[in-house]
């Protein structure tokens, strides 16, 4: 039986770095894509030797701004993956794009290269907040890209950032209504956080107050549920059957490899769990370490943690691993729902996920 495998390509280059971003990125105009592709292919071959008998369930091009890549580069990498592993029938191939590419026919070229899911990083639907977030595209360019993506792709997603400083709930509700009206199959909505080391942090930008941010989040969940986009992960909402296969691989604990500088992966080889970071640095994870990861990631899912799957991955019995006394308290307080084979968060629990995880260890 072929175990599923996901492949992540990290493209670190951007036209500029957004003031809220704390990811590894490089601002560089001229990129030697030929050399980079050789490096990526070498990495793919390395991992194929480790896990040859797998079926690829998803490929994801993230970054950075992978839409700055030449579509022929994307095509070459996809073809290489197919040469090394068997693809699943419902293979999902996602690429993140910004509405600021100067390349004509970008989206149709990406589709012809093999991409079948496009994630568009718009982030805001008004000019002032686009400027505040340091985005290099205008609202007009965003609308143009939205129109093109919806015409070219059958599977698509839009990224927006909410809980911006001084953002009013009614203004965010208008953006939500607009986002829904476009007809995207999937929405990724991220609460703005001010991370240490970012431009916003250094400038002393303050995040929206916790109470207002929580209200904004719950309003988002309720609104999207009513409009056919139920939450399936804390920040992700989708029409039925359009949940991201690739993103769920992280949260469910499936195997994935990370290709490119700063990328990382998780692989289960001969019943042992390993963490990989670029370039090919591996660390064997204990059953307890992997179990902690599965708890942290799994509670992010609306459906929660499947206890049987949990044990298959880390080898530990879920109910033994969890602090049962604290679990009973959190269930009684309305934060968690504990079933014989599933543990999941309630709406109230989703507002304090980080605290719940710490309580359960």
Non-local (6+) Cβ contacts of 213 within 8 A are 163, 191, 207
pLDDT digits (tens, 9 = 90+) for 164-210: 999 999 999 999 999 999 999 999 999 999 988 888 989 999 989 99
Range with the poorest average pLDDT among 88-92, 102-106, 108-112, 318-322: 102-106
Given a contact cutoff of 8 angstroms between Cβ atoms, the answer to whether 219 and 225 are in contact is no
CA distances from 247 to 57, 59, 89, 297, 340 (A): 11, 10, 18, 11, 26
Q: Average the pLDDT over 35-59 and give the result.
A: 96
337 vs 317: CA distance, rounded Å: 18
Q: Judge whether residue 102 has pLDDT over 80.
A: no
* pLDDT tens-digit readout, 18-33: 888 876 556 666 788 9
Residue with tokens 């296969």: 245
Helices (H) then strands (E): counts for the chain: 15, 17
Domains of the chain plus CATH, in order, are 3-247 (3.20.20.70), 304-361 (no CATH)
Model pLDDT, residue 28: 64
């Amino acid at each position: 039986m072929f175990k599923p495998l996901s492949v992540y390509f990290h493209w670190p280059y951007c036209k500029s770095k957004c003031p809220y971003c704390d990811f590894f990125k490089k601002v560089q105009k001229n990129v030697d894509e030929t050399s980079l592709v050789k490096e990526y292919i070498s990495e793919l071959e390395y991992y194929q030797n480790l896990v040859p008998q797998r079926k690829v369930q998803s490929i994801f091009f993230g970054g950075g701004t992978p839409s700055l890549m030449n579509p022929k580069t994307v095509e070459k990498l996809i073809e290489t993956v197919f040469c090394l592993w068997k693809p699943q029938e419902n293979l999902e191939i996602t690429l993140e794009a910004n509405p600021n590419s100067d390349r004509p026919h970008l989206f149709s070229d990406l589709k012809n290269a093999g991409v079948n899911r496009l994630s568009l990083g718009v982030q805001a639907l008004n000019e002032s907040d686009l400027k505040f977030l340091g985005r290099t595209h205008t609202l007009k360019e965003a609308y143009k890209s939205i129109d093109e993506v919806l015409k070219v792709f059958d599977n698509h997603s839009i990224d927006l950032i909410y809980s911006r400083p001084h953002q009013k709930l009614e203004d965010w509700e208008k953006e939500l209504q607009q986002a829904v009206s476009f007809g995207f199959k999937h929405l990724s909505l991220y609460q703005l956080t001010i991370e240490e080391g970012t431009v916003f942090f250094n400038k002393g930008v303050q995040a929206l107050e916790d109470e207002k941010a929580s209200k904004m989040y719950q309003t988002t969940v309720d609104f999207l549920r009513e409009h056919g986009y139920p939450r399936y992960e804390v920040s992700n909402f989708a029409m039925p059957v359009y949940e991201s296969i690739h993103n769920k691989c992280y949260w469910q604990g499936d195997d994935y490899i990370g290709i490119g500088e700063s990328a990382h992966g998780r692989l289960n080889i001969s019943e042992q769990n390993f963490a990989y970071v670029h370039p090919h640095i591996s660390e064997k994870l204990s059953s307890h370490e992997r179990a902690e990861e599965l708890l942290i990631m799994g509670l992010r899912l609306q459906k929660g943690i499947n206890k049987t799957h949990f044990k298959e991955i880390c080898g530990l019995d879920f109910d033994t691993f969890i602090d049962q006394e604290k679990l009973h308290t959190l269930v009684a307080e309305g934060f968690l729902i504990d079933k014989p084979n599933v543990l999941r968060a309630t709406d109230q629990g989703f507002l304090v996920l980080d605290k719940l995880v710490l309580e359960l260890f």
